[in-house]
Amino acid sequence: MTDNVLAQELVAQFQTRYPSGATVHGNLRFPIDQFSITVLFGPSGCGKTTILRCLAGLHRPQQGVIRFGSETWLDTNAKVCRSPQERDIGFLFQDYALFPHLTVSQNVGYGLNQLSAVARQQRVGEMLSALKLTGMEARYPHQISGGQQQRAALARVLARRPRLLLLDEPLSAIDNSLRAQLRTELRSVLTEFCIPVVLVTHDPAEARELAHRVVDMSDGQSTMTNADDLG
Protein backbone atom coordinates (compact mmCIF):
# COMPACT_ATOMS: atom_id res chain seq x y z
CA MET A 1 0.00 0.00 0.00
CA THR A 2 2.72 2.42 1.00
CA ASP A 3 4.66 2.13 -2.26
CA ASN A 4 2.22 4.12 -4.32
CA VAL A 5 1.21 6.71 -1.73
CA LEU A 6 1.13 10.12 -3.32
CA ALA A 7 2.88 12.82 -1.28
CA GLN A 8 -0.33 14.86 -1.14
CA GLU A 9 -2.78 12.19 -0.09
CA LEU A 10 -4.25 10.98 3.14
CA VAL A 11 -4.08 7.20 3.19
CA ALA A 12 -5.67 5.34 6.07
CA GLN A 13 -6.00 1.59 6.36
CA PHE A 14 -6.62 0.33 9.84
CA GLN A 15 -8.88 -1.75 11.98
CA THR A 16 -9.99 -1.43 15.54
CA ARG A 17 -12.02 -3.70 17.77
CA TYR A 18 -14.62 -2.70 20.34
CA PRO A 19 -14.60 -4.51 23.71
CA SER A 20 -17.80 -6.22 22.48
CA GLY A 21 -15.77 -7.89 19.73
CA ALA A 22 -17.14 -5.90 16.75
CA THR A 23 -14.45 -4.71 14.37
CA VAL A 24 -14.38 -1.41 12.49
CA HIS A 25 -12.38 -1.18 9.28
CA GLY A 26 -11.08 2.19 8.16
CA ASN A 27 -10.17 2.49 4.51
CA LEU A 28 -9.75 6.03 3.21
CA ARG A 29 -7.72 7.66 0.49
CA PHE A 30 -8.17 11.21 -0.75
CA PRO A 31 -6.08 14.22 -1.81
CA ILE A 32 -5.12 16.73 0.88
CA ASP A 33 -3.82 19.54 -1.33
CA GLN A 34 -7.31 20.63 -2.42
CA PHE A 35 -10.67 21.23 -0.84
CA SER A 36 -12.97 18.24 -0.80
CA ILE A 37 -15.54 16.76 1.55
CA THR A 38 -15.31 13.06 2.23
CA VAL A 39 -18.46 11.84 3.95
CA LEU A 40 -18.48 8.76 6.18
CA PHE A 41 -22.03 7.56 5.80
CA GLY A 42 -23.85 4.76 7.57
CA PRO A 43 -26.34 3.90 10.31
CA SER A 44 -25.73 4.72 13.97
CA GLY A 45 -23.26 2.38 15.63
CA CYS A 46 -21.43 1.32 12.45
CA GLY A 47 -18.17 2.97 13.59
CA LYS A 48 -18.14 6.28 11.70
CA THR A 49 -17.18 8.33 14.75
CA THR A 50 -14.58 5.75 15.73
CA ILE A 51 -12.88 6.20 12.36
CA LEU A 52 -12.91 9.96 12.86
CA ARG A 53 -11.41 9.55 16.34
CA CYS A 54 -8.70 7.29 14.92
CA LEU A 55 -7.84 9.97 12.34
CA ALA A 56 -7.70 12.58 15.11
CA GLY A 57 -5.45 10.44 17.33
CA LEU A 58 -8.09 10.20 20.08
CA HIS A 59 -8.42 6.45 19.59
CA ARG A 60 -5.58 4.09 18.79
CA PRO A 61 -6.47 1.32 16.32
CA GLN A 62 -5.17 -2.19 17.03
CA GLN A 63 -3.64 -2.46 13.59
CA GLY A 64 -2.95 -0.34 10.55
CA VAL A 65 -1.40 2.72 9.02
CA ILE A 66 -2.44 6.36 8.64
CA ARG A 67 -0.27 8.62 6.49
CA PHE A 68 -0.87 12.30 5.87
CA GLY A 69 1.23 13.19 2.84
CA SER A 70 4.77 12.25 3.80
CA GLU A 71 3.97 12.17 7.55
CA THR A 72 3.18 8.94 9.34
CA TRP A 73 0.46 9.53 11.91
CA LEU A 74 0.02 5.87 12.76
CA ASP A 75 1.97 2.74 12.01
CA THR A 76 1.18 -0.02 14.46
CA ASN A 77 4.02 -2.22 13.20
CA ALA A 78 6.57 0.54 13.76
CA LYS A 79 4.80 1.53 17.02
CA VAL A 80 4.22 5.07 15.76
CA CYS A 81 1.15 6.96 16.97
CA ARG A 82 1.16 10.74 16.88
CA SER A 83 -0.87 12.59 19.50
CA PRO A 84 -3.80 14.83 18.45
CA GLN A 85 -1.62 17.86 19.23
CA GLU A 86 1.00 16.69 16.70
CA ARG A 87 -1.47 16.05 13.86
CA ASP A 88 -2.60 19.65 13.41
CA ILE A 89 -6.22 18.75 12.74
CA GLY A 90 -9.51 20.41 13.56
CA PHE A 91 -12.21 18.29 15.19
CA LEU A 92 -15.82 19.49 15.43
CA PHE A 93 -17.60 17.32 17.99
CA GLN A 94 -21.23 16.32 17.67
CA ASP A 95 -22.18 18.40 20.73
CA TYR A 96 -19.64 21.08 19.70
CA ALA A 97 -17.71 20.75 22.99
CA LEU A 98 -17.54 24.50 23.56
CA PHE A 99 -15.83 25.30 26.86
CA PRO A 100 -18.71 26.40 29.12
CA HIS A 101 -16.51 28.56 31.37
CA LEU A 102 -15.17 30.63 28.45
CA THR A 103 -16.93 33.26 26.36
CA VAL A 104 -17.44 32.82 22.63
CA SER A 105 -14.42 35.02 21.96
CA GLN A 106 -12.23 33.07 24.42
CA ASN A 107 -13.42 29.80 22.90
CA VAL A 108 -12.50 30.91 19.38
CA GLY A 109 -9.06 32.12 20.51
CA TYR A 110 -8.39 29.09 22.72
CA GLY A 111 -6.05 27.24 20.37
CA LEU A 112 -4.16 30.34 19.21
CA ASN A 113 -1.55 30.59 21.95
CA GLN A 114 1.26 30.47 19.40
CA LEU A 115 0.12 33.88 18.09
CA SER A 116 0.89 37.20 19.75
CA ALA A 117 -1.96 38.80 21.71
CA VAL A 118 -2.60 41.32 18.92
CA ALA A 119 -2.54 38.69 16.14
CA ARG A 120 -4.77 36.44 18.22
CA GLN A 121 -7.31 39.19 18.74
CA GLN A 122 -7.26 39.99 15.04
CA ARG A 123 -7.72 36.33 14.07
CA VAL A 124 -10.61 35.95 16.52
CA GLY A 125 -12.26 39.05 15.07
CA GLU A 126 -11.87 37.69 11.54
CA MET A 127 -13.36 34.35 12.49
CA LEU A 128 -16.29 35.88 14.37
CA SER A 129 -17.01 38.08 11.37
CA ALA A 130 -16.65 35.21 8.86
CA LEU A 131 -19.07 33.06 10.84
CA LYS A 132 -21.54 35.85 11.59
CA LEU A 133 -20.89 35.89 15.31
CA THR A 134 -20.04 39.55 15.69
CA GLY A 135 -21.73 40.87 18.83
CA MET A 136 -21.59 37.47 20.53
CA GLU A 137 -18.00 37.85 21.78
CA ALA A 138 -18.81 38.25 25.46
CA ARG A 139 -21.56 35.65 25.61
CA TYR A 140 -21.12 32.21 27.12
CA PRO A 141 -22.04 29.10 25.10
CA HIS A 142 -25.26 28.55 27.05
CA GLN A 143 -26.34 32.09 26.18
CA ILE A 144 -26.39 31.52 22.39
CA SER A 145 -28.59 29.39 20.13
CA GLY A 146 -27.75 25.94 18.78
CA GLY A 147 -26.91 27.32 15.33
CA GLN A 148 -24.65 29.96 16.87
CA GLN A 149 -22.96 27.31 19.01
CA GLN A 150 -22.26 25.30 15.86
CA ARG A 151 -20.74 28.35 14.17
CA ALA A 152 -18.71 29.23 17.28
CA ALA A 153 -17.32 25.69 17.43
CA LEU A 154 -16.52 25.82 13.71
CA ALA A 155 -14.85 29.22 14.15
CA ARG A 156 -12.73 27.82 16.99
CA VAL A 157 -11.62 24.90 14.85
CA LEU A 158 -10.97 26.96 11.71
CA ALA A 159 -9.13 29.74 13.58
CA ARG A 160 -6.06 27.53 13.83
CA ARG A 161 -6.05 26.87 10.05
CA PRO A 162 -5.78 23.08 10.50
CA ARG A 163 -4.55 20.86 7.71
CA LEU A 164 -7.52 18.51 7.95
CA LEU A 165 -11.00 19.11 9.29
CA LEU A 166 -12.96 16.31 10.97
CA LEU A 167 -16.66 16.98 11.51
CA ASP A 168 -18.73 14.58 13.60
CA GLU A 169 -22.42 14.91 12.69
CA PRO A 170 -22.14 18.72 12.68
CA LEU A 171 -25.86 19.29 12.09
CA SER A 172 -27.38 16.59 14.27
CA ALA A 173 -28.02 18.95 17.20
CA ILE A 174 -29.89 21.40 14.96
CA ASP A 175 -33.67 21.48 14.45
CA ASN A 176 -34.89 19.92 11.18
CA SER A 177 -36.31 23.25 10.05
CA LEU A 178 -32.91 24.94 10.26
CA ARG A 179 -30.79 22.03 9.06
CA ALA A 180 -31.16 22.60 5.31
CA GLN A 181 -30.23 26.27 5.65
CA LEU A 182 -27.23 25.51 7.87
CA ARG A 183 -26.10 22.77 5.48
CA THR A 184 -25.76 25.36 2.73
CA GLU A 185 -23.99 27.77 5.09
CA LEU A 186 -21.64 25.02 6.26
CA ARG A 187 -20.69 24.09 2.72
CA SER A 188 -20.07 27.74 1.85
CA VAL A 189 -17.81 28.28 4.92
CA LEU A 190 -15.87 25.08 4.28
CA THR A 191 -15.36 26.02 0.63
CA GLU A 192 -14.11 29.46 1.67
CA PHE A 193 -11.44 28.02 4.00
CA CYS A 194 -10.36 25.40 1.47
CA ILE A 195 -9.34 22.69 3.95
CA PRO A 196 -9.96 19.01 3.17
CA VAL A 197 -12.85 17.70 5.27
CA VAL A 198 -13.93 14.32 6.57
CA LEU A 199 -17.54 14.51 7.74
CA VAL A 200 -19.63 11.91 9.53
CA THR A 201 -23.37 11.69 8.97
CA HIS A 202 -26.22 9.22 8.98
CA ASP A 203 -28.45 11.64 7.03
CA PRO A 204 -28.65 10.71 3.30
CA ALA A 205 -29.65 14.27 2.34
CA GLU A 206 -26.61 15.67 4.15
CA ALA A 207 -24.34 13.13 2.47
CA ARG A 208 -25.81 13.90 -0.97
CA GLU A 209 -25.59 17.65 -0.62
CA LEU A 210 -22.17 17.98 1.01
CA ALA A 211 -20.07 15.09 -0.29
CA HIS A 212 -17.45 15.03 -3.00
CA ARG A 213 -16.95 11.39 -2.14
CA VAL A 214 -18.82 9.03 0.14
CA VAL A 215 -17.48 6.19 2.25
CA ASP A 216 -20.41 3.86 2.75
CA MET A 217 -20.05 1.96 6.03
CA SER A 218 -23.43 0.26 6.03
CA ASP A 219 -22.00 -3.26 5.59
CA GLY A 220 -19.27 -2.90 8.25
CA GLN A 221 -16.64 -2.24 5.62
CA SER A 222 -15.57 1.12 4.14
CA THR A 223 -16.48 1.38 0.48
CA MET A 224 -15.46 4.67 -1.11
CA THR A 225 -17.50 6.14 -3.97
CA ASN A 226 -17.26 9.49 -5.77
CA ALA A 227 -20.36 11.60 -5.19
CA ASP A 228 -20.85 11.92 -8.97
CA ASP A 229 -21.22 8.15 -9.20
CA LEU A 230 -24.00 8.06 -6.61
CA GLY A 231 -26.59 9.24 -9.10
In angstroms, give the least distance from the CB of 96 to another protein.
9
Question: Is 157 a binder of another protein (CB under 8 A)?
Answer: yes
Choose among 163, 184, 226: nearest CA to 35: 163
Q: How far is residue 18's CA from residue 12's CA, in Å, rounded to a whole number?
A: 19
User: By C-beta, is 51 or 227 nearer to another protein?
Assistant: 51
In angstroms, the CA 231 to CA 229 distance is 5
Of the residues 111, 126, 185, 230, which one makes contact with another protein according to CB under 8 A = 111
Q: Give the DSSP letter string of 108-147.
A: HTTT-TTS-HHHHHHHHHHHHHHTT-TT-TT--GGGS-HH
CA 196 – CA 216 distance, rounded (Å):
18
Q: Mark 7-46 with x for binding to another protein (rule: CB under 8 A) and - for no binding.
A: ----------------------------------------
Residue 213 found at the interface with another protein (CB under 8 A): no
3-class DSSP assignment, residue 4: helix
d(C-alpha 39, C-alpha 42), whole Å: 10
Using CA atoms, how far apart are residues 43 and 90, in angstroms rounded to an integer?
A: 24
d(CA 128, CA 109): 10
Q: How far is the CB of 196 from another protein (least distance, A)?
A: 16
Q: Among 20, 70, 85, 116, which residue sits at the site for another protein (rule: CB under 8 A)?
A: 85
Task: Choose the stretch contacting another protein; rule: CB under 8 A; options: 116-124, 130-138, 152-160, 197-205.
Answer: 152-160
Kindly write out the interface string for residues 125-144 of this chain, putting x where it contacts another protein by CB under 8 A and - elsewhere. ---------------xxx--
Distance in Å, CB of 85 to another protein, minimum: 5
Residue 142 C-beta: closest distance to another protein, Å: 6
Q: Does the protein bind another protein through residue 113 (CB under 8 A)?
A: yes
Q: Is 81 in the site for another protein (CB under 8 A)?
A: no
**Residue 43: alpha-carbon gap to chain centroid:** 18
| Residue ranges in contact with another protein by CB under 8 A | 56, 58, 83-85, 88-91, 93, 95, 97, 99-101, 110-111, 113-114, 140-142, 156-157, 160
